[in-house]
Amino acid sequence: MSNKISSYLGKLLIVLAVLIFGFFIFSSNSVLRSLEDFSLLASAVDSGQELFVAGSSNIARESPNMNFVQNNSLVAVAPPMTIDVNTLGSMIGGIEEDDGTRKEILEYIVEPDDTLSTIADKFDISLSTILIANDLGSKSTIKPGQKLIILPVSGVIYHVKNGDTLGDIAKTYKGKTTEIIAVNNLSGEGNIFIGDILVIPNGKIPVSGSSTYAANIPVGSSYFIAPLARYTITQGLHWYNAIDFAAPCGTSIYATAAGVIQRVEYGWNGGAGNYLRILHPNGVVTMYGHIQKSLVVQGQNVSQGERIALVGGKPGTTGAGKSTGCHVHFDVRGARNPFQ
């Protein structure tokens, strides 16, 4: 009998100890916010590490905060921010595609001994895909240092124009709507805008010879102003029709011409990071990539010189995208980039 009593008392003491420990943990300002943190703490104790000397360099998954309601009920409260896969990818400087395949258009610099055929083999795409994307012919030659556009899959590039629908594009270029949506990370058939650059997997140029590129609209030399008041151009013309303007992160970005905010997107976005685009009255679209923060919203009208965003691009920060430093990636769709 005494053994049973001793057993019950032992279990009761354990329960009380757990309750006291739990109360201490949840009432303390140094709450262990996840089981991963507890695991790190236990490992540190076992290894004899000094604790609380410096913050951990590990990044743990965000866990719910625990709050008391009316001083007697403990509830989980989600953090005031949700992180999707793209945003998480932008925080660590890249993103791995779910199926392990590349979905980004690359700009490849030709190396010595490269041929168009060996490049096609290197990226596992057809030779015709490289020829069409770079406006080359079957007898064209390449040289070291030359830049080539490399699609993620065999097919063609298409620049969305006014009045286009995804169904019509797929039909004209012999593609499949579902594949276009998947490769271009679209949310649905209606999620396309003037100036979008779409990859059409296994697409074919129609016999009529319809151009896959945006019309080159002539604009006056004073139509665009620079997107920054003070800057250094750190990269000349590159994909797509873009110039990189470097300035300290947080520097104001200005609308280069009047128009309406067409898109504001946050996340990795194929390496562009956070970006916004402006549709101008003449049909030209300008894009501002690697922004730290947008100061405008989709559908808003802006004037030339109006402050629209802040420079971002610092590696490791949210929405930096594929970037080596603070700058704005400025590209022009449908006209010549005046800063080339």
For the chain, counts of helices (H) and of strands (E)? 7, 16
| Domain extent listing, the chain | 2-77, 106-201, 232-333
Per residue in 137-190, pLDDT (tens digit) is 989 999 999 999 999 999 999 999 999 999 999 999 999 999 999 999 898 777
In angstroms, the CA 15 to CA 9 distance is 10
Would you list the DSSP string of 16-30?
HHHHHHHHHHHHSSS
Q: pLDDT digit of tens for each residue in the chain (340 aa)?
A: 555 555 666 666 676 765 666 555 444 444 333 334 434 333 433 434 333 333 333 323 333 333 333 333 333 333 333 333 333 333 333 444 445 577 889 999 999 999 999 999 999 999 999 999 999 998 999 999 999 999 999 999 999 999 999 999 999 999 999 999 999 989 877 789 999 999 999 999 998 766 677 778 999 989 999 999 999 999 999 999 999 999 999 999 999 999 999 999 999 998 999 999 999 999 999 999 999 999 999 999 999 999 999 999 999 999 999 999 999 999 999 999 999 9
Task: Give me the CATH topology for the region 106-201.
Answer: Membrane-bound Lytic Murein Transglycosylase D; Chain A (3.10.350)
Cis omega (within 30 of 0) for bond into 240: yes
For Cα atoms 267, 268, 270, give the angle at the middle one, nearest 5 degrees.
135
* Class of 232-333 in CATH: mainly beta
At a CB cut-off of 8 Å and minimum separation 6, what does 180 contact?
166, 169, 170, 186, 198, 199, 200, 201
In angstroms, the CA 316 to CA 92 distance is 6
Task: Write the single-letter amino acid at 289.
Answer: G
Hunting for tokens 């057993």 — which residue is that? 7
**Residue of 132, 310, 305, 149 lying closest to 237 (CA atoms):** 149
167 touches 122 (CB < 8 A): no
For Cα atoms 279, 280, 282, give the angle at the middle one, nearest 5 degrees.
125
In angstroms, the CA 62 to CA 21 distance is 23
Bridge partners, residue 150, by sequence: 106
- Report pLDDT for 55: 34
Per residue in 185-201, pLDDT (tens digit) is 898 777 899 999 999 99
Q: How many CB atoms within 10 Å of residue 24?
A: 9
Q: Is 321 exposed, middle or buried (0-12, 13-18, 19+ CB in 10 A)?
A: buried
- The single-letter DSSP state of residue 312 is B
* Three-state DSSP class for residue 169: helix
**Residue of 296, 250, 249 lying closest to 277 (CA atoms):** 296
Q: Provide the whole-model pTM.
A: 0.69
